[in-house]
Amino acid sequence: MALSLRALLDDRSPARPARPRRRDIAIALGCATLIAIEGVARSGLAHRALDVLMALAVAAALVVRASRPLLAVSVAFGSAMAHTALTWGPQRADGLYSAVFALVMPYSLARWGSAREMTAGLCWIVVAYAASVVGHHPARAEDWVGSIVVLLFPFAIGASVRFRAETHQRELEHARWREREALARELHDTVAHHLAAVTIQAQAARAVLARKPAAAEAALGAIESEASLALTEMRRLVGALRDAPMAPQPDLAAIDALSAMTVTPQIKIHRDSSTIRVPASVQAALYRIAREAVTNAVRHAKSARSVDVRVTIEDGRAKLSVIDDGAPSRARDEGFGLLGMSERASLLGGTLVAGPLPRGGWSVEASIPLKASES
């Protein structure tokens, strides 16, 4: 039960716009126009000014319904609760018909909200509805049930649209991985074909090297040609698999750029100026471990003011330490980040140790041998 609750609370929202969308701004302006017209033209409103203000709050909430759905729900139903409190009494206060746009909020909450936002938003909606029931004493139970259905129906539609969008995204990912699998098979077949030709030509060159130097030279030319074709094909297919052009591996100098990742906490880089040659594979591994460790510190180190990154060469080993001064915590020993860093170090014969410090903060220390990496 605890694990299920934790999974629910850790659920993230689907991809949603970072800023209000133009269509939502247009909808909000159209809703505000209808509210103004109804507020002026409709007769028999006991609380005209209050009704208009409440409806305009709903219209304003429409602007952020996709980018910040919980805020939109809070504004819309919070204004409804304020309206209920100010019109408290046995006589039902109907408000403006154009305030029906508030029903868009449960849809937006289910469509773009995270699990935590949906839980909080639904609780807010239930509280607002309960306040309305208590404040105006509806006469019939059918009204209660009907209102609940009307509120939950947009939420169900939003959840359905969200599920379809996520299913479509998974189908796209599956298709993408199937294509990558086909490219991987093509890479295997192509390179295997060229290497087989290289092997045959090498055997032929060895056989005729002493008796027919010209034939051996021709065989070496064929080997060079086949090897070049294999390298070209491999670069092309691997580039397609990586969805990016071939680029040089990052080196130790790239670690210096991590200091610009954020202002708070301050990232301090200390890199040994030793002239000992460090293999490219070790440099790339140290950079990726440092980047992952610094990213974890920036995201998860509570109240951290600084992150110290130190790279040294000692006793034939490249050593990296990343230490932050955040509040004591053991939460960062979960997940796949540390596992990935440890695996990257172990592939080169190194080790990685990570964990909380007694005085507070978190430490990541990696050590990779230089000679083993060159062999």
Quick one: pLDDT at residue 352?
A: 92
Structural element, H or E, at residue 143:
helix 141-208
- For residue 321, give the 3-state DSSP assignment: strand
Q: At 299, which CATH number?
A: 3.30.565.10
More confident residue, 321 or 337: 321
Quick one: pLDDT at residue 307?
A: 92
Exposed/middle/buried for 366, CB within 10 Å: 0-12, 13-18, 19+?
buried
In a domain, 54, yes or no: yes
- For residue 245, give the 3-state DSSP assignment: coil
Q: Which of 268, 270, 264 is nearest to 326 (CA)?
A: 264
CA angle, 128 as apex, 65 and 148 as ends, to 5°? 85
Q: What is the pLDDT of residues 145-160, one digit of tens each?
A: 767 777 788 888 988 8
Quick one: pLDDT at residue 140?
A: 62
Quick one: pLDDT at residue 207?
A: 73
Q: Which of 99, 252, 72, 49 is nearest to 158 (CA)?
A: 72
Q: Which of 155, 108, 164, 111 is nearest to 129 (CA)?
A: 155
In a domain, 204, yes or no: no
User: Most distant CA pair in the chain: distance in Å?
Assistant: 113
Quick one: pLDDT at residue 310?
A: 93
Q: How far is CA 184 from the centre of its chain?
A: 27
In a domain, 35, yes or no: yes
Quick one: pLDDT at residue 366?
A: 94
* Local confidence band at 7 (pLDDT 50, 70, 90 cut-offs): very low
**Sheet order of strands, 306-314 included:** 266-271, 306-314, 317-324, 362-369, 351-356
In a domain, 153, yes or no: no
Number of domains observed in the structure of the chain: 2
Q: What is the pLDDT of residues 201-244, one digit of tens each?
A: 677 777 777 777 777 677 677 776 767 666 666 666 565 555 54
Quick one: pLDDT at residue 65?
A: 92
* Local confidence band at 188 (pLDDT 50, 70, 90 cut-offs): low
Domain stop point among 88, 106, 137? 137
Domain stop point among 108, 137, 166? 137
Q: Which domain holds residue 45?
A: 2-137
Whether cis (ω within 30° of 0) applies to the bond prior to 265 is yes
How far apart CA 371 and CA 375 sit, in angstroms, is 7
Structure tokens at 141: 């139970």
Pick from 25-39, 73-87, 173-187 the range whose average pLDDT is largest. 25-39
Percent of the chain with pLDDT over 70: 74
Structural element, H or E, at residue 318:
strand 317-324
Domain stop point among 107, 137, 167? 137
* Local confidence band at 131 (pLDDT 50, 70, 90 cut-offs): confident
Q: What b/e readout covers 288-308, taking b as 16+ CB neighbours within 10 angstroms?
A: bbbbbbbebbbebbeebebbb
Lowest-confidence region among 34-48, 112-126, 181-195, 208-222: 181-195
- For residue 308, give the 3-state DSSP assignment: strand
Quick one: pLDDT at residue 4?
A: 47
In a domain, 163, yes or no: no
Tell me: pLDDT of 130 over 70: yes
**Backbone torsions φ then ψ of 366, nearest 5 degrees:** -120, 145
